[in-house]
Amino acid sequence: MMSDGALSQDEIDALLAGVDSSSLSGGGAPVAAAPAPSLNVDRSALEKFFASTTGALSSNLSALTGATVNLIGPQVSITGRDNFLVQLPEMVTVIAANYTSGFPGEHIFILPEESAGAIASLMTHEEDIQLDEMAMSVIGEVVSQMVGTQITSLTDKTGNKSIAAASPTATNVPKAVAALPGGDFAVMTYQLDLGDSKPHQMWEILGSTPAVDISSGLSGHGSGPAQMPMGQMQGMGNMGGGMNMGSMGMQMPNMGMGMGMMGQGMGMPGMPNLGPTNVQPVQFPNLMQPRFGAQEAGNISLIMDVSMEMTVELGRTRKLIKEILGMGEGTIIELDKLAGEPVDILVNHKLIAKGEVVVIDENFGVRVTEIVSPMERFNDMG
C-alpha cells in the first residue's frame, strides 16, 4: 500500500527526539547502535556524594510537603539523549537549575508527570491538581530547596566556595521536546517514596562540563592552590623581609631563615628537627556580642541613606486555592492574631519590632512597644 506522504505521530515524536524515523517504519538501512559513552567521570565519586545528601533532601521534602518522603539512591550512569529518552514516560516535568558559577553548566531535574502532580498535591493539599503555572512554581520551589542543600554539601566536600545555581524553572512537556544537554551526560536515578504506595522516580542530570568538574573536585583532583616545588623553595635562600607566598595563599612576614630550612622537622634527610609545634585553639568572638566602635560606626555611615521597606503586619493565615478563588465582597478572613495583640513591624520582611496601632489625624500609625532581641532576629533570619 502506498503512503500518502503524511508522517505518523510516532515519526513526528522520533524526529523531535533526533531519532531516525526509518527505524520506526522498518524501511531503509538499520540504525547503528549508539556509541559507548566516552565521558571521563568518576561515577563512584558522584554516586557516593549524591547518596550522602539524600537524608537531608528527604527531610527537606518531608518538611515542605507535610508527608513522610524518602529519596533513595541514586544510581549513576553516563548516557546520551537517545538512550536516556527511552527510560522516560511520554510526559515529564523538566526543572532547569543550571549552575552559574563554581562548576558552571547544565543541571536538570526530571520527574514523570504523575510524580510531579503528586508532589504539587502534597504541597498545596489539593487532590487532582492541574500542572499549570502555579503548580510549576511549586515544583520549582521544591527543587530550589534541594539544590540549596546540595550546594552546601558540595562546597564542604570540594572546598569550592563560589558554587551558585540559577533559580529553577519548571515546565511540563512531552519527553521528545525536553531540553537536555548535548553529547554524553551524567544521570543520577533516584527512587522516590511519597507515601502513596506508588512507585516514583526522579532523574538528576549533569552536563558534561559540570559532571567532569564536580567528579574531579570530589576525587581530590580539582583545581586547588598552586604548589611550589620544594627544589625552588630551597633555592630561594635567606629572605629577611616579609614574603607574600602568592599562589600558596600565605603571608609569612619577617622570615629570618632561609627557605631551605623549611624542610626541617619534616623528615627531610640531613636536616635537624625543630621540635614540637606549639598548637593553640582558635578563639572566635561571640556572634551575638555587639561591637560597634569608631571603625564600625564609620563603615555603617556609608549606607545610612539606603532606603528599606518597612511593613506593619496585622496578621497572617493560610487558605486553599479554591478558598481564595471563592472570595468576594463581604468575605471575612480570620487572621492568626487576637484582638488587641501587638502587630509585627518588619524591615525587608524581617521582624524587628512589635507595636500598637494608633490614629494620627486621619492616618493610621503604629507606636513601637517592643524591639525584638538580636537572638530573635537571628533566629528569624534562619
Report the CATH number at residue 214: 3.40.1550.10
Are 86 and 211 contained in the same domain?
yes
Q: How confident is the model at residue 314 (pLDDT cuts 50, 70, 90)?
A: confident
In a domain, 56, yes or no: yes
The residue to which cell 500518502 is assigned: 4
Are 213 and 347 contained in the same domain?
no
In a domain, 33, yes or no: no
- Compute CA distances 116 → 124, 201, 324, whole Å: 12, 10, 23
Phi then psi for 248, rounded to 5 degrees? -80, -10
For residue 330, is pLDDT > 70?
Answer: yes
Q: What is the mean pLDDT of the chain?
A: 77
Bridge partner residues of 312 (DSSP): 345
Are 196 and 51 contained in the same domain?
yes
Please state the rounded mean pLDDT for residues 375-382: 63
Share above pLDDT 90 across residues of the chain, in percent, rounded to a whole number: 35
In a domain, 17, yes or no: no
Are 73 and 215 contained in the same domain?
yes
Peptide bond into 374 cis (omega under 30): no
Q: How far apart are the first and last CA of the chain?
A: 69
In a domain, 325, yes or no: no
Q: How confident is the model at residue 20 (pLDDT cuts 50, 70, 90)?
A: very low
In a domain, 55, yes or no: yes
Q: How confident is the model at residue 351 (pLDDT cuts 50, 70, 90)?
A: confident
Domain boundary among 159, 193, 219: 219
In a domain, 224, yes or no: no
Are 79 and 206 contained in the same domain?
yes
pTM over 0.85: no
Q: Which amino acid is at 146?
A: M
Report the CATH number at residue 369: 2.30.330.10
In a domain, 197, yes or no: yes
Q: Is 375 exposed, middle or buried (0-12, 13-18, 19+ CB in 10 A)?
A: exposed
Left, alpha or beta for 246 (phi > 0: left; psi -120 to 50: alpha)? Answer: left
CB 202 within 8 A of CB 116: no
Domain boundary among 156, 184, 219: 219
State pLDDT tens for residues 171-224.
999 999 999 999 999 999 999 998 888 889 999 999 999 999 999 999 876 544
C-alpha cell at 265: 622537622
Are 168 and 314 contained in the same domain?
no
Are 198 and 345 contained in the same domain?
no
Domain count, the chain: 2
In a domain, 329, yes or no: no
- E strands, the chain, are 70-79, 91-96, 99-101, 107-112, 164-165, 169-174, 185-193, 200-206, 243-244, 251-252, 310-313, 343-347, 350-360, 363-371
Query: For residue 374, what are the domain limits?
Result: 309-318+337-382
Domain boundary among 164, 191, 219: 219
